[in-house]
Amino acid sequence: MEKSYRTNNIIFTTLILLTLFTWILGQTDIVGDISEKINGKVFFLILLSIAIIKVQLIGDFFMHLNTVSGFWRWIITLWVMLTGGFIAIAFLL
Amino acid sequence: MYMQDTIKTKYPPGDLALWIFICAELLVFAIFFAAYAFTRASNIELFNQYQATLNTDLALLNTIALLTSSYFVVSAIISIKENKQKQSTRFLSLSILGGCAFLIMKMTEYSHHMSEGINLTTNLFYMFYLSLTFFHFMHVILGIMILTVLWLNTRKGLYTADNHDGLVSGGAYWHMVDLVWLILFPLIYIMR
């Protein structure tokens, strides 16, 4: 059980750090308009990748899908890939 | 019992019917997100202009509130697996507080918009922003109601190390509310 608490703490800290990183990227008054400094598409892909990683962490460790095999193991992955795919097509094409 | 965490199962933890409901909910949100993204593609300047008027600091705090709340739900489930009902009840109280903090911050945001005369008909961006976030807001309310029932049941001692499927199922719904926001936050507030 100690391991479960430790895993929970690590995942939570990672999620908070990734959230803060996302927020910092959006702060034009702190870091300037990053979408103008780097390629706007790269900026978008960084944000989308972080969001996908966070969703996957919630699915795997908070919803415990990492203890499941077969179709249900990938249900959140399928959803985030489908959603992320639609968003990426709309933003990049 | 503790071995269950290391053995792979065919179905997700909790009630399978609730997982099917979660999938349906996620599909609806996916359609909403796609609609937002494709509408934005034809109105990029308008969306970027009005996105800049949103309060990203409050959105950050909202995200932290939901993540913290989810963290406490997981902690409550770990506690119940150790038959620590009181500790589990405390964790569930904290997760409900996290959900309520989200609602209060979102209502502050909505009242600010209303005071500026912003509504669904203001423009396309606000139509999407208000309807998407309000749809999610309603899910947070339902999630808090579910967490409250779980809190009452845990307090009554209805869940034990051997029987806590209800707690796991309710927790899964709350995590779904959380992960939808994890897409919504960068999509509406940050991506440009």
| Chain B residues closer than 8 Å to A25 by CB | 190
Q: Touching check for A24 and chain B: CB below 8 Å?
A: no
Contact of B8 with A69, CB cutoff 8 Å = yes
3-state secondary structure chain B: CHHHHCCCECCCCCCHHHHHHHHHHHHHHHHHHHHHHHHHHCCHHHHHHHHCCCCHHHHHHHHHHHHHHHHHHHHHHHHHHCCCHHHHHHHHHHHHHHHHHHHHHHHHHHHHHHHCCCCCCCCHHHHHHHHHHHHHHHHHHHHHHHHHHHHHHHHCCCCCCCCCHHHHHHHHHHHHHHHHHHHHHHHHHHCC
**Closest-approach residue (CA) in chain B for A65:** B12
pLDDT tens, residue by residue, B138-188: 999 999 999 999 999 999 999 999 999 999 999 999 999 999 999 999 999
**How is residue B165 written in tokens?**
């499927």
Amino acid residing at A78: L
pLDDT, mean over chain B: 94
B182/A72 touch (CB, cutoff 8 Å), yes or no:
no
CA-nearest residue to A86 within chain B is B34
Query: How far away is chain A from the Cα of B161, in angstroms, using its nearest Cα?
Result: 12
- What is the number of structural domains in chain A? 1
Give B126's Cβ-side CA count (13 Å radius): 16
Q: Could you give all domains of chain B from N- to C-terminal order, each with its CATH number?
A: 13-190 (1.20.120.80)
What integer pLDDT is reported at residue A50 of this predicted model?
97
Please give the mean pLDDT across all residues of chain A.
Answer: 90
pLDDT at residue B3, as a whole number: 44
Given this model, what pLDDT does residue A46 score? 93
Facing residue for A55 by CB, picked from B38, B179, B191: B179
ipTM: 0.92
Nearest to A1 among B12, B82, B191 (CB): B82
Task: Return the sign of the alpha-carbon dihedral for residues B30, B101, B75, B185.
Answer: positive
Residue B113's pLDDT is 95
For residue range B104-140, list pLDDT tens digits in order.
999 999 999 999 999 999 999 999 999 999 999 999 9
Contacts of A12 in chain B (CB under 8 A): 67-68, 71
What is the 3-state secondary structure of chain A?
CHHHHHHHHHHHHHHHHHHHHHHHHCCHHHHCCHHHHCCHHHHHHHHHHHHHHHHHHHHHHHCCHHHECCHHHHHHHHHHHHHHHHHHHHHHC
Interface probe for B, chosen from A3, A11, A22 (most Cβ of B below 10 Å), is A22
- A69 reaches B (C-beta below 8 A): yes
Among A8, A40, A59, select the one facing B74 at the smallest CB separation.
Answer: A8
Structural domain that includes position A51: 2-92
The answer to whether A62 touches B69, Cβ cutoff 8 Å, is no
Whether the Cβ atoms of residue B73 and residue B152 lie closer than 8 Å to each other: no
Out of A4, A44, A59, name the one closest to residue B179 (CB): A59
How does pLDDT run across B82-105, given as a tens digit for each residue? 999 999 999 999 999 999 999 999
